[in-house]
Amino acid sequence: MMTEYRSSEWYGGEDRNAYIHRAWMRRGVPASAFEGRPQIAIANTASDLTPCNSHLTEIAQSVKNGIYEAGGIPLELPVVSLGETQVRPTAMLWRNMAAMATEEMLRANPIDGTVLLGGCDKTIPSLLMAAASVDLPAVVVPGGPMLTGHFRNEALGCGTDVWRLSEEVRAGTLSEVAFLRSESSMIRSKGHCNTMGTASTMALVAEALGVVIPGVAGTPAPDARLLEAAHESGRLAVQLVTEDRRPSTFLTRGSFHNAIVALAAIGGSTNAVVHLLAVAGRLGIDLEVDDFDRIGAEVPLLVNLQPAGKYLMDDLYRAGGFLAVMKEVRDLLDPDALTITGRPFVDYLDDAHVWDPQVIAPRSEPLIAAAGISVLRGSLAPGGAIIKPAAASPHLLKHRGRAVVFDSIEDFHARIDDPALDIDEGSVMVLRGCGPRGYPGMPEVSNLPLPKKLLERGVRDIVRICDGRMSGTAYGTVILHVTPEAAAGGPLSLVQSGDWISLDVRNRRLDLEVSAEELAGRRPNESTVNGYANPRRGWERLYIDHVLQADQGADLDFLVGRSGAAVSRESH
């Protein structure tokens, strides 16, 4: 007698519809494939246009082997893939679309569980959002970071050294020829960025959340142990189905608490804030942007990785890995939060060890004593804004300066190197029109390059404020995710060059020193409110009409929450 898996609704029985579903899937497959064996989809974001994920087809084969070994049937399902370095105007515009498409395909097909293969920045968040909404048993296999490349005897950090070296060219301290020579050294192997950028951050944070087998995240992409972990994840997926262990059965506020502690301890990307908020929204968990400050602000930075430190991801792995980091902050974790294995996350910390204290600092000697995300509020950000103190210049964490305003990224590029631009090291650069609606898609442009004339004088950081995001590989005193964004009518839309802005990170303040009466008489320009583009059709139109603000994860309003896996109607 056939076990009543979800897929039995397609394959079980003797009627015409069951015949159709089985017959079209046979193609050499034995009848036993449909008799009481769970059907496991491998949601694969491999794509030649997502170079960081191009090796995931190899990973998928190991997942298949594990599924077969455990008695399941593996079914590879290509899903929307987003290459951070390739997709225009920004990969973030398509994150919600990828999540929606994956959710619908998981629901629409005869599957009982899924293994989620991601790596590049938006792929793991979109897969998690989909899995949370469809609520089928799911386990994540991160694709892993690349090995470190070198140039002129220096280790190169993906992204971070692009920003650094390009600024040195503009400053006249590095030739353009040398800069371009480093290009072929930057990417040494398969895998995602080797800095603590968004890809590395989301893999590690997903493990802290509980959706990755503990000890797997951070395994370098070329390492054979990743294939072993993929095999085991395939086996686990079958177990999840038989035990009906779905995201809603073990992900709790405690899970997100652990993810926030992890984010601070590793010096992770600010992008994790908007992604975790979106995943929590899909699960119906009440997570707010202020929770990142409340839980994470006093957590010490222990991982000495670029952009906040010196080393890179393969160094972290050899030094003891993510679990060794989390063991140092074990007392800050929720002890009851479970993982995909059914055991609490803290259970996996007993055997973890730090083998290189230069890479993973001991709790007693942290790189920074309190390094988590700080949430700022004030007259310029009534809905909140965030800053990553670990990546900022300490002397700028309390600052007062004159605004130099740019209405769009195009406006910025047109004027930033104008010798007549009225700007100095005490100024505050303000870029608007880069929020979810205004761009659209909330691009990674907030870490604005400095004016050439300041670089030539040796200045390497000034305060920058934006309603967009920045790459997890970036650094600097950058205030991000200003809410409400300018295009939504936030105070950012009314700032004028010459206005005084005060920043006080310790007291969590970001204020525009302009009276309410004067602001009431100002009007934003047309392009600021309506955004750079005003599409009439397609995904961009849908996105602009329904996207939420950064403090709500920039998800679409009609995608928040869980819809489950039920499909009530037959296709024939």
The predicted-structure confidence for 252-276, as pLDDT tens digits, reads as follows: 999 999 999 999 999 999 999 999 9
Helices and strands, counts by H and E, the chain: 21, 14
Q: From the centroid of its chain, how far is CA 124?
A: 7
Is residue 7 assigned to a domain? Answer: no
Task: Map residue 186 onto helix, strand or coil.
Answer: helix
Q: Identify the CA nearest to 93 among candidates 452, 535, 475, 501.
A: 535
Is residue 270 assigned to a domain? Answer: yes
Is residue 12 assigned to a domain? Answer: no
Q: Please write the tens of the pLDDT for every residue from 123-148.
A: 999 999 999 999 999 999 999 999 99
The answer to whether residues 142 and 163 belong to one domain is no
Q: What pLDDT is stored for residue 181 in this prediction?
A: 85
DSSP letters along 163-194, please?
Answer: HHHHHHHHHTSS-HHHHHHTHHHH--SSSB-S
On whether the CB atoms of residues 100 and 126 are closer than 8 A, the answer is no
pLDDT at 428 over 90: yes
Is residue 211 assigned to a domain? Answer: yes
Query: In what helix (H) or strand (E) does residue 510 lie, and over which residues does it extend?
Result: strand 509-512
On whether the CB atoms of residues 134 and 563 are closer than 8 A, the answer is yes
Q: How far apart are CA 469 and CA 273, in angstroms?
A: 10
Q: What is the mean pLDDT of the chain?
A: 94
Is residue 358 assigned to a domain? Answer: no
The answer to whether residues 72 and 182 belong to one domain is no
DSSP letters along 365-376, please?
Answer: S-SBSS-S-EEE
Q: Identify the CA nearest to 488 among candidates 418, 570, 549.
A: 549
Q: 154-163, 193-202, 531-540: which has the minimum mean pLDDT?
A: 531-540
Total count of domains within the chain: 3
Is residue 478 assigned to a domain? Answer: yes
Q: What pLDDT is stored for residue 281 in this prediction?
A: 98
Question: Residues, the chain, total?
Answer: 572
Local confidence band at 1 (pLDDT 50, 70, 90 cut-offs):
very low
Local confidence band at 533 (pLDDT 50, 70, 90 cut-offs):
low
Rounded to an integer, the average pLDDT of 383-402 is: 95
Using alpha carbons only, what angle is made at residue 529 by residues 527 and 531, rounded to the nearest 5 degrees? 55
* Domain extent for 166: 149-186
pLDDT at 12 over 60: yes
Rounded to an integer, the average pLDDT of 498-525 is: 95
Enter the tokens of residue 235.
């086996």
Q: Identify the CA nearest to 237 among candidates 40, 34, 32.
A: 40
Whether residue 307 has a cis bond before it, omega within 30° of 0: yes
Is residue 178 assigned to a domain? Answer: yes
Task: List the beta bridge partners of residue 301.
Answer: 368
Q: Please write the tens of the pLDDT for every residue from 432-466.
A: 999 999 999 999 999 999 999 999 999 999 999 99
This prediction's pTM: 0.95
* Residue 422 buriedness (CB in 10 A; 0-12 / 13-18 / 19+): exposed
The answer to whether residues 174 and 222 belong to one domain is no
Local confidence band at 491 (pLDDT 50, 70, 90 cut-offs):
very high
pLDDT at 280 over 90: yes
Q: What pLDDT is stored for residue 2 in this prediction?
A: 40
Is residue 40 assigned to a domain? Answer: yes
pLDDT at 34 over 70: yes
Q: How far apart are CA 85 and CA 215, in angstroms?
A: 28
The answer to whether residues 66 and 98 belong to one domain is yes
Rounded to an integer, the average pLDDT of 114-121 is: 97
Q: What percent of the chain has pLDDT over 90?
A: 84
